[in-house]
Amino acid sequence: MRSDGIADPMRELPHMHAVIDEIETLALEGTASTGDKDRDRLAREDLMDRLYAPEPEGAERLNGKDYRAQVKPPEGFTPGEVEASFDAFTRAMSGMR
């Protein structure tokens, strides 16, 4: 963050999400830097699973054994729309070198 001109992140950033994002980035870089693509991918996936995996025992108690979400995704977030957005982003970024 200091290289980006943020000398005191705890005072200068508007919320802790930015600090947490930076910590996540550092953890991912430190975890997945062997040079072996497959090993690095597995290390990243393992870290993300450990950080963000749901708590299975709490989820069943909270939602009930037969819980099924009845909420439609918000506009623009159906699986097809999300895929199209990622494709558009990839096309836009591939031209920026």
Domain range annotation of the chain: 2-70
List the single range of 27-36, 44-53, 63-72, 78-87 with lowest mean pLDDT. Answer: 63-72
How much is the pLDDT for 62? 67
How much is the pLDDT for 60? 63
Largest CA distance in the chain: 51
> Distance between CA atoms of 18 and 9, rounded to whole angstroms?
9
List the single range of 15-19, 25-29, 36-40, 81-85 with lowest mean pLDDT. Answer: 15-19
Cβ neighbours of residue 41 closer than 8 Å, sequence gap 6 or more: 32
**In a 3-state reduction of DSSP, which class is residue 75?**
coil
CB 41 within 8 A of CB 52: no
